[in-house]
C-alpha cells in the first residue's frame, strides 16, 4: 500500500461507536504502512459549544428526551428535501475546506453521516473519493447522498434498504462493522475466570451500562438477580459513569461472591467470552462485538431510533431477546439461562450475523475504488481540457 497516501476520517462523538470505528480504521491503515491518517471530529472543531450541547442532549435522549429523538430520527425522512435540512448540509463547510486545503487528502471516510462532505464536492467541484462506513444494522436516510462513492454496511438487510431508495448494488459492499481485532482471536477462557475473580462453575450475567452509562435501571436489575439467584454471578461494566459505580459498590461488598462492579474495561472482549448472556443497549458496535464472540444478548429498553431498529433486526433473526419492562427481566433471563438449547441457538444465530475482518475488507475495497475514481476523473479532465 502507498505509504504516502493521505487519509481523512471524519467522525462525531454522538455515542462511542462512530469514534471507535474511526480509530479501528486508522489503526488498520497504519498497520498497512500508511503514515498520514487524520481523524477529525468535524462538528466539534467547527462548533465546539453547539457540539457539546447536542452531544449532551443525545445522551439525554436515552432517558428524558425519547420523544424528541423519536421525532428527529423518524421525521428527517419527511423533511429531507426541504429547507430545514439546508443548515445541516452546510454544517462544518468552512472547517472542512480548511482541512482539505491544508491536508490535501486522497481519500475521505465518514463514520458519521456528514452531508457537508458530499455537498462540498457538489459546490466546489473538488473530487476526493468519499466513502461512508455505516455503524448500525439499520439505514437512516441521512447517510445517503449522490456524491458518496460507496457505502460499507453491516448486512444484506441494510444493502437492500439502500437499493430500495435507488442506490445501485455496485455502490454498496456488505463488510460488517469494523471492531477492534481482539474480538476475533481465539482465547483460553479458563484464565479469564481467574483474572476477574469469577467462579467458572456459575453462570455469568454480564450487564453493560454503555461507555457513558446510559443503560437505565441498572441498580434495580442487579438487586433482582442478587436476591433471586445464587447460581448466577453478575458483572456490571459502568463505563465512564463514576456515579453509577459508586452507587453499586456497596452491593459488591454485601454480595462479594455473586457480584462484581467495574468501571471502563479496555479488554471488555474478555468479559464477553465468559458471559453466559449479556444485558445491554442495542448500539451497533456492542452488537457487532457480540456477533464476533457469539454471546447471547438481552436488549433492554431500546429507545426510538437506531437502537429500536437494531433491536428489531436482531430479534427477527432470533439473535437477541428484547425486554421493555424491568419486571419482565428476571423471568426472561431465567428462561434463557435454564434452557441450554435456546442459549446455543442464540449463540449460533448471532454468530451468523458476523462478518470477519471487516476493517480489512473496507480498507482493501476503498483503495481499489479510490484508484478507479481518480483515474476516471483524470480522464474526464483531460477530455474537457
For residues 104 and 373, which has the higher predicted lDDT (pLDDT)?
104
Which helix (DSSP H) or strand (DSSP E) does residue 8 occupy? strand 6-11
- Cα separation, 194 vs 196, in Å, equals 6
pLDDT tens-digit map of 133-142: 999 999 988 8
Question: Is the fold of 6-176+356-384 the same as that of 182-352?
Answer: yes
Instruction: Give the end-to-end CA distance of the chain in Å, rounded to a whole number.
Output: 31
For residues 227 and 72, which has the higher predicted lDDT (pLDDT)?
227
Q: Is the pLDDT of residue 59 over 80?
A: no
Q: How far apart, in Å, are the Cα atoms of 276 and each of 124, 260, 295, 333, 352? A: 54, 15, 7, 10, 18
What average pLDDT score do residues 75-79 get?
A: 56
3-state secondary structure of 179: coil
3-state secondary structure of 11: strand
What average pLDDT score do residues 181-191 get?
A: 89
Asked if residue 311 lies in contact with residue 282, where contact means CB atoms within 8 angstroms, the answer is yes
Asked if residue 208 lies in contact with residue 316, where contact means CB atoms within 8 angstroms, the answer is no
Q: Is the pLDDT of residue 321 over 90?
A: yes
From 185, 178, 184, 183, select the one nearest 29 (Cα to Cα).
178
- Cα separation, 356 vs 99, in Å, equals 33
Whole-number pLDDT of residue 231: 83
pLDDT tens-digit map of 33-46: 998 999 998 876 66
Least confident of 55-64, 294-303, 334-343: 55-64
Pairing relationship of beta strands 150-153 and 203-208 according to DSSP bridges: unpaired
Whole-number pLDDT of residue 49: 46
What average pLDDT score do residues 223-243 get?
A: 82
3-state secondary structure of 178: coil
What distance lies between CA 333 and its chain's CA centroid? 25
Q: Is the pLDDT of residue 105 over 60?
A: yes
Which superfamily does 182-352 belong to? Answer: Glycogen Phosphorylase B; (3.40.50.2000)
Q: Which CATH class is domain 6-176+356-384?
A: alpha beta
pLDDT tens-digit map of 255-276: 888 899 999 999 999 999 999 9
Whole-number pLDDT of residue 46: 60
Domain spans of the chain, in order of start: 6-176+356-384, 182-352
Q: Is the pLDDT of residue 212 over 80?
A: no
Q: Is the pLDDT of residue 313 over 60?
A: yes
Whole-number pLDDT of residue 73: 55
Whole-number pLDDT of residue 286: 94
What does the chain come to in residues?
385
Amino acid at each position: 500500500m502507498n505509504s504516502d497516501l493521505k487519509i481523512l476520517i471524519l467522525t462525531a462523538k454522538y455515542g462511542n461507536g462512530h469514534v471507535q470505528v474511526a480509530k479501528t480504521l486508522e489503526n488498520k491503515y497504519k498497520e498497512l504502512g500508511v503514515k498520514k491518517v487524520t481523524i477529525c471530529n468535524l462538528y466539534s472543531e467547527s462548533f465546539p459549544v453547539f457540539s457539546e450541547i447536542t452531544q449532551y442532549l443525545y445522551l439525554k435522549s436515552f432517558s428524558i428526551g425519547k420523544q424528541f429523538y423519536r421525532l428527529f430520527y423518524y421525521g428527517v425522512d419527511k423533511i429531507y428535501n426541504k429547507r430545514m435540512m439546508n443548515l445541516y448540509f452546510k454544517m462544518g463547510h468552512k472547517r472542512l475546506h480548511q482541512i482539505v486545503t491544508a491536508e490535501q487528502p486522497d481519500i475521505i471516510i465518514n463514520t458519521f453521516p456528514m452531508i457537508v462532505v458530499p455537498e462540498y464536492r457538489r459546490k466546489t467541484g473538488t473530487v476526493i473519493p468519499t466513502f461512508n462506513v455505516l455503524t448500525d444494522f439499520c439505514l437512516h436516510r441521512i447517510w445517503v447522498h449522490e456524491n458518496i462513492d460507496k457505502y460499507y454496511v453491516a448486512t444484506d438487510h441494510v444493502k437492500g434498504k439502500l437499493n430500495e431508495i435507488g442506490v445501485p448494488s455496485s455502490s454498496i459492499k456488505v463488510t460488517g462493522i469494523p471492531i477492534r481485532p481482539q474480538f476475533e482471536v481465539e482465547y483460553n477462557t479458563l484464565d479469564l475466570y481467574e483474572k476477574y475473580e469469577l467462579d467458572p462453575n456459575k453462570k455469568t450475567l454480564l450487564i453493560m451500562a454503555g461507555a457513558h452509562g446510559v443503560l437505565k435501571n441498572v441498580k434495580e436489575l442487579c438487586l433482582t438477580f442478587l436476591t433471586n439467584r445464587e447460581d448466577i454471578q453478575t458483572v456490571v461494566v459502568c463505563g465512564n459513569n463514576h456515579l453509577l459505580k459508586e452507587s453499586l459498590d456497596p452491593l459488591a461488598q454485601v454480595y462479594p461472591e455473586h457480584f462484581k462492579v467495574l468501571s471502563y474495561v479496555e479488554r471488555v472482549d474478555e468479559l464477553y467470552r465468559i458471559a453466559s448472556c449479556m444485558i445491554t443497549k442495542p448500539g451497533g458496535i456492542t452488537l457487532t462485538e457480540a456477533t464476533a464472540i457469539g454471546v447471547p444478548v438481552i436488549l433492554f429498553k431500546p429507545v426510538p431510533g437506531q437502537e429500536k431498529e437494531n433491536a428489531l433486526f436482531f430479534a427477527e433473526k432470533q439473535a437477541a431477546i428484547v425486554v421493555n419492562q424491568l419486571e419482565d427481566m428476571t423471568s426472561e433471563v431465567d428462561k434463557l439461562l435454564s434452557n441450554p438449547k435456546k442459549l446455543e441457538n442464540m449463540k449460533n444465530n448471532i454468530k451468523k450475523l458476523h462478518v470477519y475482518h471487516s476493517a480489512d475488507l473496507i480498507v482493501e475495497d476503498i483503495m481499489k475504488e479510490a484508484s478507479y475514481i481518480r483515474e476516471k476523473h483524470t480522464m474526464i479532465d483531460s477530455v474537457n481540457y
